[in-house]
Structure 1
Amino acid sequence: MRNVRPALWFDLVLLALFAAITVALALRTPLLSLDLAVRDLVDAHRPSWAYWTARVFNYLGQGGQVLTPLAVLTALVVGRRTHSVRPALPVIGGFVITYLTIGPLKVWTDRTAASDHKVVHPEYLFHVPTGMSYPSGHVVNAIVWYGVLAILLGGLLRPGQLRAIRYGAPAIVLFTTTYLSFHWVTDGLAAICLGLVLDRILQRVPWDTIPLPWISPKFAGSSSLQEQQTR
């Protein structure tokens, strides 16, 4: 298992924060009023040019249409350059870990979207069976999939560039989903906590040393460009 900093205690803090946000919303604390206030504020300050600019940048968090295909394409390119099937492993890991968490949580929490203007009072977590807004899938996807891309591109980009990819894009997605009222602000905050935990799980996996007994050693090399860059 690879070391990821901060240590495991940070994952526990993130999970506790996610649980705290969820409980706070279910108990109709002032966080619900904050959601409504932010929603009403951005709705009142969204000129056409800003709306369309935000819509474009919001695609940075589009999982199925943008991020997953991009990760698959990157894995194919890296796999060809490193003559290895291992670049497919973090992509499969990213798909599985998001599939098992984002969808079930959305179904379980029953939260309507911030764009539903029928919501005029703070009673919408575990309240509307058709709601699927919590947590923000765009934000979780952005954190997880840009983390996967960072794994694949390791050795090709500088550490600062990798950090910009891993954290810059999710920050943009968090802002745009909130600004466009696609999600409540607390949907995004909870998604940050969940997304970071999932990303840290994937970053800990030793993708280059996982046994692949059914694969020829010739094609069981590196999962990234790191090995090729250091030759």
Structure 2
Amino acid sequence: MRIDRIFARLDREPEPPRLEIPRMSRHRVALLGATLAFYLAIVVAVLTTSWLVELDWKVMLFRPYQQWPQLHAFLDYFVVLGQRGPTAVMVMAWLGWRSWRQHTLRPLLTLGAALLLLNVTVGAVKLGLGRLGPHYATQIGSAELFAGGDIFPSGHTANAVVTWGILAYLATTPTARRWLSVGSASLALGVGATTVYLGTHWLSDVLLGWAAGLLILLGLPWCEPLIGRTETAVLAFRARLRERGRLRGTTTPAPVPVPVAVGSALSPAGDSRSAATAGEEPVLEPAGAAGRSSGPTGSSHLTAPHLAAPHATAPYPTTTQSPRPHTPRSERAPGTPVVSRRPSHADRPARGSQARPVPGGPA
């Protein structure tokens, strides 16, 4: 599994220093309150068709893309830095490498939580207010609200603030955080101004987009406990998958057959009983005892049921030669020759030396 190999590579990296998780300090709470007040002021100004709406129309009628047409080709590409898909892929690649090096899933989970909050908050306001864009405006001086649009606040601007600002939020040193904050703020301001230049957003859309993205970044420390619990659950699930794969890869070895002595004893009542059950030593079957029921001294020998049937008769006359003990196949030495159970040629009667008895004739 690819994910399992990625985690295995992550486990082989050296342990990083302890990462500092941002907290909701008083300074951050104060900034959050000021940004929230600015956010609400813009919404109220647009709802009441105040001076801000008049400014929107003046900028739109100015048509910046006609005033500076030489910038149009470059800004068409620059505005892509605010689109959610391309920016999320670029930032996720960087944070994925950070997660690998730092042995933690926090960078990726923080980005996921920020984008989720962005989609929920900005999307809800967009659909709720339904403002039309400058290219689709129907009445000069109108706020164009509740007309089925989806541009207020600006999604490009809010996404640029959150996606590039998350790099500064996750910085591990004060110097890196300072430079990344300046860079992400410049990108977010540039993307917002570009949408106004291209005529795709009102100026108030961009202002509300900046405020919406900044609110998410300032409120992320409240999500840190949930991010920590999610990371613990993901790593525990990974451990269960690895344990399940390890158990699935192990196979149970086949049991090795153990040689068992062949033998049985007949009780006086005629019932078959094993010698091991009766507490006696198992009797090994002689090599030449197949098909015989008694030896030369009249002592009873056991016959294995799978070697000779009960009705089988001896094809050769019984000899006085002492039988050899039978050695099971699994206990034979590798060089032990296989001995035939038939008697040797010396023990056989010569052909023609003894007349075959005629049925019904004299004995």
TM-score normalised by L of structure 1: 0.82
Corresponding position of 2:30: 9
- Give the structure 2 partner of residue 229 of structure 1: none
Q: Structure 1 residue 181: deviation in Å?
A: 1.0
Q: How many residues align?
A: 215
In structure 2, the partner of 1:136 is 154
Aligned counterpart in structure 2 of residue 91 of structure 1, from 99, 102, 111: 111
| Counterpart among 6, 11, 26 of residue 47 in structure 2 | 26
Higher helix share: 1
Offset of residue 77 of structure 1: 1.2
Query: Which residue of the partner structure matches residue 36 of structure 1?
Result: 57
Contact residue 154 and residue 205 of structure 2 kept, 8 A: yes
Name the stretch that deviates more: 149-158 or 184-193: 149-158
Assess if the C-alpha contact under 8 Å between 2:131 and 2:144 holds in 1.
yes
| 1:205, distance to aligned residue in structure 2 (A) | 4.9
Question: Pairwise mapping of residues 83-162 of structure 1 onto structure 2 (< 5 A)?
Answer: 83-116=103-136, 118-126=138-146, 128=147, 130-155=148-173, 158-162=176-180
Structure 2 spans left out of the alignment, 5+ residues = 1-21, 240-363
Q: Hey, what's the Cα distance between the residues in 2 that align with 1:111 and 1:163?
A: 31
Q: In the alignment, which of 210, 227, 230 is matched to residue 192 of structure 1?
A: 210
**2:98 alignment partner in structure 1:** 78
Q: Answer yes or no: is the 8 Å Cα contact 2:65–2:198 preserved in 1.
A: no
In 2, the alpha carbon distance for the partners of 1:11 and 1:84 equals 28
Q: What CA distance in whole angstroms lies between the structure 2 residues aligned with 1:84 and 1:23? A: 42
Pair 1:44–1:56, CA change in 2 (3 A): closer
SS at match of 1:187: helix
Residue from 184, 203, 206 that aligns with 1:166: 184
Alignment CA distance shift 1:119-1:59 (3 Å): farther
Superposition CA RMSD, Å = 2.7
Alignment check: 8 A CA contact 2:39 2:211 kept: yes
For residues 74 and 156 of structure 1, the distance between their equivalents in structure 2, rounded to whole angstroms, comes to: 19
110-119 or 172-181, which moves further after superposition? 110-119
Native 8 Å contact 1:4 1:200 kept in 2:
no
The residue identity in structure 2 corresponding to 1:141 is: N
* Range 89-98 or range 159-168, more displaced: 159-168
CA shift for structure 1 position 182 = 1.1
Q: What is the alpha-carbon distance in structure 2 between the residues aligned to residue 36 and residue 5 of structure 1?
A: 39
Post-superposition offset of 1:153:
4.7
Q: Is the 8 A contact 2:137 2:144 kept in 1?
A: no
Equivalence for 1:222: none
For residues 135-192 of structure 1, what are the alpha-carbon distances to aligned partners after superposition, in whole Å with 9 as ceiling and x for unaligned?
Answer: 0011111111112222445349634421222211101011101111110001111111
Structure 2 CA distance for aligned equivalents of residues 76 and 12 of structure 1: 32
Moved over 6 A (4+): none
Is the 2:169–2:217 contact (alpha carbons within 8 Å) kept by the matching residues of 1? no
Highest Rg: 1 or 2?
Answer: 2
Write the distance in 2 (CA, Å) between the matches of 1:203 and 1:59.
28
| Separation (CA, whole Å) in 1 of partners of 2:165 and 2:65 | 34
Change (3 A) 1:157 1:13: closer
Match of 1:59 in 2: 80
User: What residue in structure 2 maps to residue 225 of structure 1?
Assistant: none
Q: Aligned to 2:106, what secondary structure does the other structure show?
A: coil
Higher mean Cα deviation, 139-148 or 197-206? 197-206
